[in-house]
């Protein structure tokens, strides 16, 4: 696990180093801003744990504060509602996921390798964070229309990574690719990942890598070349 | 529509089936308009033009009615797809005909499609499970393509799931944007998308091009 503090924020509260997991009540000499940030992160992690346990609809603010080990009052200092806490959690997870994808994608000059690395990073992150994976790929859909909008936007925001593949395509391929190709690709990939998470197979997500890479590259490279990159 | 006077002459079974269908339609329309969560049994009853008791003769709750709606639509969609595809010999053309039937159903029943392909995702675990089953029921129709694909046995194990998932996603997006009536225009693109992994881009394109003349408005 990376020592980056941004990553630490995504850990379930119970996995925090002991000095962070429960701030002692009263005067602890920690800067106020640090305490606030820490509380917010703990609430987000607490929500992810509570939702993994009870589903979004079954989660109450009491569940969240219990997992986060903060008071109800503290919850309301940060968020006005369960939904608002969920949005914050969702945005935090997606931001983190995007960072990982960007980083992996940027390491390669050739587009097929870059896409493959991006998918690999996404699967690795989701597999290593089952609560967060469930939160952003399953519960986001169940949580109601406002979150669904965010989910849709997040999935659609992956389209440009695939569209970049058009740049290297010969003209005859370019001319053939239909406008909705990338949308269908990201939708297909997201749908498969969600189904595996629902089926309780989050830990095995990384085994999907060759299949997803081949699926994603086939429209651009043809299936033989796509399979080579995927399995090579 | 309310049953005409003199309905006493109709068989009980006919009336029961008709009532059920009317309730399902009413739920789909209310759901498309307000979102599943906001819909009440009173809304459904009002829209269907039936007595509250009649609703409860058929369904135990709004949830029960929603699941029945999903079952009805999934069965009907699969029936239409099969009926369109079965008489055709080549698998590529069968995919085209099946997808045309599917998109045609969505365009014909946008409220029902929205209930089952959009609202179903956020209508609770049982509804999500139904959605999942509906999606899975289409997988075997694509899986047959492995037999005609030059490297069928080498294709990714999950290919059908990603192909159907991709198609559902595109339809989902269009329904969310309120573009159900234009959905049939996507037929050539979706056929090409679905066929390319199996038969290659050129053959997929040829199959899609054949449809282009026949698609669009009825």
Per-residue buried b or exposed e for B38-68, using 16+ beta carbons within 10 Å of the residue's own CB: ebebebbbebbebeeebbeebbeebeebbbb
Least confidently predicted of A7-16, A84-93, B152-161: A7-16
> What are residue A96's phi and psi, to 5 degrees?
-60, -45
pLDDT score for B9: 63
Q: pLDDT tens digit string along B123-169?
A: 888 998 899 999 999 999 999 999 999 888 899 999 999 999 999 99
Compute the distance between CA of residue A65 and CA of residue A61 in angstroms, rounded to an integer.
6
Contacts with A51 from chain B: Cβ below 8 Å: none
Cβ within 8 Å, pair A176-B151: no
**Which residues of chain B neighbour A227 with C-beta distances below 8 Å?**
151, 154
Buried b (16+ CB within 10 A) or exposed e, A211-224: bbbbbbbbbbbbbe
Q: Rounded to whole angstroms, how far apart are CA atoms B214 and B218?
A: 9
Pick the CATH number of B63-212 from 3.30.300, 1.10.357, 1.20.1250, 1.10.150: 1.10.357
What distance in Å separates the CA atoms of residue A206 and residue A122, rounded to the nearest whole number?
Answer: 9
- Which range (A52-56, A106-110, A113-117, A205-209) has the least confidence? A52-56
**Contact indicator for A82, A76 with CB cutoff of 8 Å:** no
> Any residues with CB less than 8 A from the CB of A81 and at least 6 apart, and which?
none
* pLDDT for residue A13 is more than 90: no
**Lowest-confidence region among A61-70, A219-228, B10-19, B38-47:** B10-19
**Residue B154: closest C-alpha in chain A:** A227
C-alpha span between A141 and B185 (Å, rounded): 27
Task: Please give the C-alpha separations between residue B80 and each of A106, B77, B85, B97, B101, in angstroms, as whole numbers.
Answer: 46, 5, 8, 10, 6
Contacts of B4 (CB under 8 A, 6+ apart): none
Q: Mean per-residue pLDDT for A195-205?
A: 93
- CB contacts < 8 Å between A and B, how many? 118
pLDDT score recorded for residue B213: 58
The reported pLDDT for the residue numbered A1 is 37
Count the alpha carbons within 13 Å of B172 in the hemisphere toward its beta carbon: 29
Give the gap in angstroms from C-alpha B186 to the nearest C-alpha of chain A: 9
* Per-residue pLDDT tens digits for B181-209: 899 999 999 999 999 999 998 889 888 88
Q: Bigger pLDDT: B29 or B177?
A: B29
Contact map slice: B 28-57 vs A, CB within 8 A: 35, 37
The residues, ordered by sequence, that sit 6+ positions from A10 with a Cβ below 8 Å of its Cβ are: A44, A45, A92, A93, A96, A129, A132
Neighbours of A51 (CB within 10 A): 29
What's the ipTM? 0.83
Predicted confidence (pLDDT) at residue A199 exceeds the cutoff of 80: yes
Mean pLDDT estimate for chain A:
85
The pLDDT value given to residue A57: 81
A178 touches chain B (CB under 8 A): yes
A contacts of B163 (beta carbons < 8 Å): 188, 215
| Over residues A78-83, mean pLDDT | 94
| Ranges A111-115, A124-128, A144-148, B55-59: which has the least confidence | A144-148
Stretch A126-150: mean pLDDT: 84
Q: Do A214 and B128 touch (CB under 8 A)?
A: no
All structural domains of chain A, each given as residue ranges with its CATH number in brackets, are 5-80 (1.10.10.60), 84-231 (1.10.357.10)
Which residues in chain A have their CB less than 8 angstroms from residue B37's CB?
Answer: 144-145
What is the DSSP annotation of A183-221?
HHHHHHHHHHHHHHHHTT-GGGGGGGHHHHHHHHHHHHH
Nearest to B145 by CA among B99, B105, B213: B99
- Find all residues with CB under 8 Å of A156, minimum gap 6, and list them: A183, A186, B173
The domain spans of chain B are: 63-212
Task: Dump pLDDT digits (tens) for B53-100.
Answer: 999 999 999 999 999 999 999 999 999 999 999 999 999 999 999 999
User: pLDDT > 70: what percent of chain A?
Assistant: 84
Residue B207, min C-alpha distance to chain A (Å): 13
Q: Check residue B4 and give its pLDDT.
A: 56
Stronger pLDDT, A73 or B5, i.e. the higher one = A73
Task: Check if A201 contacts B (Cβ < 8 Å).
Answer: no
């Amino acid at each position: 696990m990376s020592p980056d503090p941004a990553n630490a924020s995504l850990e379930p509260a119970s996995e925090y180093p002991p000095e962070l997991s429960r701030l002692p009540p009263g005067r602890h000499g920690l800067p106020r801003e640090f305490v606030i940030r820490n509380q917010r992160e703990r609430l987000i992690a607490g929500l992810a744990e509570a939702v993994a346990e009870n589903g979004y609809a079954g989660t109450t603010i009491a569940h969240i504060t219990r997992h986060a080990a903060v008071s109800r009052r503290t919850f309301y200092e940060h968020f006005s509602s369960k939904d608002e806490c969920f949005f914050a959690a969702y945005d935090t997870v997606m931001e983190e996921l995007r960072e990982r994808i960007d980083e992996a994608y940027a390491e390669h000059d050739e587009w097929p390798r870059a896409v493959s690395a991006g998918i690999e990073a996404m699967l690795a992150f989701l597999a290593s964070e089952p609560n967060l994976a469930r939160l952003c790929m399953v519960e986001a859909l169940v949580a109601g229309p406002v979150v669904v909008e965010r989910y849709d936007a997040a999935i659609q925001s992956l389209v440009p990574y695939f569209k970049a593949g058009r740049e290297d395509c010969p003209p005859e391929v370019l001319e053939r690719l239909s406008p909705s190709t990338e949308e269908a690709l990201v939708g297909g990939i997201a749908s498969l990942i969600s189904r595996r998470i629902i089926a309780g197979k989050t830990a095995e997500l990384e085994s999907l890598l060759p299949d997803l890479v081949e699926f994603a590259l086939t429209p651009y490279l043809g299936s033989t070349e796509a399979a080579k990159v995927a399995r090579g | 529509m309310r049953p005409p006077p003199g309905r006493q002459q109709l068989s009980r079974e006919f009336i029961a089936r008709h009532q059920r269908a009317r309730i399902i339609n009413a739920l789909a329309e209310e759901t498309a308009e307000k979102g599943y969560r906001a819909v009440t049994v009173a809304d459904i009853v009002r829209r269907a033009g039936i007595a509250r008791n009649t609703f409860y003769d058929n369904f135990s709750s709004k949830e029960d009615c929603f699941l029945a709606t999903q079952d009805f639509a999934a069965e009907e969609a699969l029936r239409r797809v099969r009926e369109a595809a079965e008489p055709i010999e080549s698998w590529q053309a069968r995919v085209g005909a099946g997808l045309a039937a599917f998109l045609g159903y969505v365009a014909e029943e946008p409220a029902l499609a929205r209930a089952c392909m959009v609202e179903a995702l956020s209508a609770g675990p049982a509804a999500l499970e139904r959605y999942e089953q509906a999606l899975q029921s289409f997988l075997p129709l694509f899986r047959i393509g492995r037999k005609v694909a030059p490297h069928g046995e080498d294709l990714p194990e999950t290919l059908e799931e990603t192909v159907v998932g991709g198609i559902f996603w595109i339809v989902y997006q269009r329904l969310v944007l309120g573009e159900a009536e234009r959905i049939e225009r996507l037929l050539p693109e979706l056929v090409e998308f679905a066929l390319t992994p199996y038969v290659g881009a050129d053959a997929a394109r040829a199959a899609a091009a054949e449809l282009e003349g026949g698609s669009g408005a009825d």
